[in-house]
Structure 1
Amino acid sequence: MHRGAAHRDSRRGFLGNQSPDSPLSTMGSRPLRPIGGLPGHLPIDGLPRGFSRMLSPKNSHQGPPRPMLLDFLAQLRLSLILAGLLGGVLHGCGQGPSGAPGPATRIAVGSGFDADVMELIGQLADAVDAAPLDPDLRVSLALAFEANSLWEEAEAAWDAALGFDPDHGLWITHKAAALSERGATLEALAAYQRALELDPALDAARHRLGRLQIQLGKDELALATFGEVVRRQPIAYNALIGMAEALNNLGREAESKSACERALKLNATYKRAHYVLGIALRGLGRLEEAERELALGADSKERFLNDSLTVKLNSYRRGYGARIQDALDLVGTGQAQRAVPLLKKLLESHPTDRVVLVNLGVAQISVGNNSEAIEVLERALVLDPNDFAVLINLATAEGALQRLPAMLKHSQQAVRAAPNVSATYYVRAHAYMQSGRYGEAYTDLKKAAALDTDDARYPLEAAGCAVRLGRKRDALELYAAGLRLQPAHLPALVAMGALANQLGRRSVAEDAYRQAVALQPDHERVLALGKELGLR
């Protein structure tokens, strides 16, 4: 449950985070949020998932620059891969031994895929076998595999289509996407480069090429690649964010910030723009702003440029997993209201499916439909009365409706079901706080902090309880512990400064005040603390 240090500025967990405009408080001011991490995150399996950390070449553990010989060998390898890739296509990939087109790629019967995916693939494969010389049918089958994340099958199907037209740049682009998704990064890189040689107007290939270049640590090349996309398509906000990521990796955070701001003017809902902006702001030392942007961009996903096959590709999305993923994507882009009907429709065909029930409950909580969330979560609880993911979400919805006895009951059940999960104690602590039982809340928050030593919320909210209980020295230590994890938490700095002053710890108070001034010098509570300390 521990996070990487690079993300300690961002909140995660099962509950809500405080907006920048919230009143200055470190305890009980944030609404509960559904299980599954940051706002808008739907766990595909209904279980909590940690904060996903983006590893860029700048913050990964890389060795020293490679000697020229190794760079030459790498280029030679790329050339051989490219030759092999094109040679395979030119010499009849997807053809039978006599040179005639081979049979359609299929999924093995009993392979465990959804029935509607199997039906779609079966129909398209039958059409291919009935008209084996029709390349459009081959493309349709390849797109169906791609749409349902069947990457090895997609690669084989694209090979078969390319047997009809080896120099079709768009088809090579889609094969490259399959190669990339299954981990064949260098082969994908060569294929994208070949696609652009054949058709320099393929910005979808250029955009994906830039992503691979960032993965490989070629940030200068990536910057040029994304820059060419933006030159050709000035409204390509996702390419601007590609530029911003490369600029961050190159230590050019001010330029990255400008690129992010341009992207957000084009699409204010693009979560990845907020995330990359947060990285840039952190590099510029603007920690509080960075924290806000990182939280807004948490769990963001890359959006690739569309091409002329995108509409057809999306029309082939089928199956349980694809629909759940669609719901994840909708919630992740601030469109939880659209995820609700999608999941309701899925529930019609899977009425007792725990994953669908839990995710629908989470989506309903995300849009404020807490009564509806309780209804579906109670159905999930019947399936497994000890499912702590269901219990936590249920308690969250009940707390939002001030149904405190039910909230306390279900949060207590969650603790019993998962005594080693910090979030269960956190939810119960909020139930206790909403009932005015601060001693018990304090104990639960201390337990949560012991279980997950990387989450600043636990010691900071425990400090707030300690103040209410008159345990001021304990509170001071807890504020200090929380601020070590989240140094830019302005409410905690102000509270710690005031408390330290009350306890006669003048140097601690002044240090907290100086840090608060560095974050927001004109905030009313910072100004008030300065007057209290005689520094204004």
Structure 2
Amino acid sequence: GLVEAEIRKFRATKQHNCIEEAQRWLRAAESLNPDSVGVRLAGGLLKETTSQYEKALEDYRRVQDLEPRNIDALLRIASVYDKLDMPDKAVEAYRKAIEMDPAYYEPYEDLGEFYYYRGQYPEAAEQFQKTIDRAPGMFDAYTNLAAALDDLGRDNEAERALLRSLQLRQTARALNSLGVIRAIQKRDTEAVRYYERAVAINPGSYVYLLNLGDSDRRVGRLRDAKIAYRKAMDLALAELKENPRRGYVRAFVAYFAARLGDTKRAEDEISQAVQLSPADNEVIRRAVLTYEALSQRDRAIQAISGAAAEVLRELDRQPDLADFRQDLRFQYLVTKAAKGG
């Protein structure tokens, strides 16, 4: 519907007027039939996008009352539980959606993303493969699988999945992911070319701009790196304004602040991000990278004190953490996690 379209546009562009338009379309729909399934789903999505998670749950549960077998409602309930850091309830909702229609690809895809952002890469890869099995023409599913394989250190398999994705469609996500692989391989000049192509397709992604800035910085293009970080910061702040309870976004703001020389803001933002989303893999990763950029090694070590083995393995491959990896405390945590301790 029109509400969902405006929210998708907001997520792509971070333009505040998209939220205002979504609110206007929702009011119009509510004036006609306020308790229909479509209106309740749209209202819940708008509330979820603006951090009104508890109110979003009310809308989604009402959809369940109206249509007990509505899979979209279950998937959105799972998404809200994830944002509220209630992982057990999120997984339960995802599993119910899968049981409702085992042949439908989307619950597997969403569950895979849930596992991925919590650093459970083997589980994520399994769900993404199940997505591909049910929808082999979905280019994004191959990109998702590649991300999980890459974080598991299976670079060759990840690259094959990305090339398959690009055969189906040239996307910014796949190009960005190929850039990540090249950066891990210490081939930043090649990585920059992939990132530039990704940004050309989607200039509204602060993640792509972050990666471009990082590779520019590592090859000595410091002015270009600052420009990329500043653009990325503006985009992340726009998203944070609409959704202030998302630790994921706040963690990126912290990292950009660190790279742009604003130590106080970086410290404040990353502290809040960890409080909001303590189990989010990307938040943990950004915390380590932010504290390392600020030369605060003790805090970087503290950020991974309870991290899963998969997260530690991924950090062990980060191009900017070569010195961090030599720290005996990090090596101890890696060894301990590998032994299941």
Q: TM class, shorter-chain normalised?
A: 0.5 to 0.7
1:333 is aligned, of 37, 50, 53, to 50
Q: Deviations over 1:411-460 (max 9, x none)?
A: 111122222222212322232234233333333334434444352x3322
In percent, how many aligned pairs have the same letter? 17
TM-score where L is the length of structure 2:
0.54
Work out whether residues 425 and 444 of structure 1, in 8 Å CA contact, stay in contact via their aligned partners in 2: yes
1:387 aligns with 2:104: yes
Question: Which AA in structure 2 matches 1:317?
Answer: P
Question: Which AA in structure 2 matches 1:414?
Answer: T
Q: CA–CA distance in 1 between the matches of 2:146 and 2:212?
A: 22
Work out whether residues 42 and 359 of structure 1, in 8 Å CA contact, stay in contact via their aligned partners in 2: no
Q: Deviations over 1:263-311 (max 9, x none)?
A: xxxxxxxxxxxx6xxxxxxxxxxxxxxxx99326485242459xxxx9x
Tell me which protein shows more helix as a share of its residues. Answer: 2
C-alpha change, 1:474 and 1:364, in structure 2 (3 Å) is same
Work out whether residues 108 and 131 of structure 2, in 8 Å CA contact, stay in contact via their aligned partners in 1: yes
Work out whether residues 182 and 190 of structure 2, in 8 Å CA contact, stay in contact via their aligned partners in 1: yes
1:478 is aligned, of 169, 181, 194, to 194
Work out whether residues 493 and 515 of structure 1, in 8 Å CA contact, stay in contact via their aligned partners in 2: no
Counterpart for residue 5 of structure 1: none
**CA-CA distance at 1:465 after TM superposition:** 1.3
Counterpart for residue 463 of structure 1: 179
Ranges in structure 2 where 5+ consecutive residues have no aligned partner: 233-255, 262-341
Q: Deviations over 1:200-254 (max 9, x none)?
A: xxxxxxxxxxxxxxxxxxxxxxxxxxxxxxxxxxxxxxxxxxxxxxxxxxxxxxx
Q: CA–CA distance in 2 between the matches of 1:410 and 1:296?
A: 32
SS, match of residue 440 in structure 1: helix
Q: CA–CA distance in 2 between the matches of 1:483 and 1:357?
A: 33
Question: Which AA in structure 1 matches 2:177?
Answer: E
Q: CA–CA distance in 2 between the matches of 1:319 and 1:445?
A: 40
**CA-CA distance at 1:392 after TM superposition:** 0.9
1:353 is aligned, of 56, 70, 82, to 70
Work out whether residues 490 and 519 of structure 1, in 8 Å CA contact, stay in contact via their aligned partners in 2: yes
2:224 is aligned, of 488, 493, 512, to 512
Counterpart for residue 300 of structure 1: 19
Q: Deviations over 1:140-181 (max 9, x none)?
A: xxxxxxxxxxxxxxxxxxxxxxxxxxxxxxxxxxxxxxxxxx
SS, match of residue 37 in structure 2: helix
Q: CA–CA distance in 2 between the matches of 1:479 and 1:316?
A: 45
1:398 aligns with 2:102: no
Work out whether residues 74 and 96 of structure 2, in 8 Å CA contact, stay in contact via their aligned partners in 1: yes
Q: How does 1:108-123 map to 2 (within 5 A)?
A: none
C-alpha change, 1:304 and 1:466, in structure 2 (3 Å) is closer
Q: CA–CA distance in 2 between the matches of 1:298 and 1:465?
A: 36
**CA-CA distance at 1:340 after TM superposition:** 1.3
**CA-CA distance at 1:513 after TM superposition:** 5.1
Q: CA–CA distance in 2 between the matches of 1:297 and 1:378?
A: 34
Q: How does 1:180-191 map to 2 (within 5 A)?
A: none
Question: Which AA in structure 1 matches 2:197?
Answer: A
Q: CA–CA distance in 2 between the matches of 1:445 and 1:515?
A: 28
Question: Which AA in structure 2 matches 1:512?
Answer: D
SS, match of residue 408 in structure 1: helix
Using CA pairs below 8 Å that are at least 6 residues apart, which structure has the higher relative contact order?
1
Aligned length: 232
Counterpart for residue 82 of structure 2: 365
Q: How does 1:317-332 map to 2 (within 5 A)?
A: 317-332=34-49
SS, match of residue 144 in structure 2: helix
Counterpart for residue 214 of structure 2: 495
Q: CA–CA distance in 1 between the matches of 2:17 and 2:160?
A: 29
SS, match of residue 102 in structure 2: coil
Work out whether residues 230 and 260 of structure 2, in 8 Å CA contact, stay in contact via their aligned partners in 1: no
Counterpart for residue 414 of structure 1: 131
C-alpha change, 1:384 and 1:498, in structure 2 (3 Å) is same
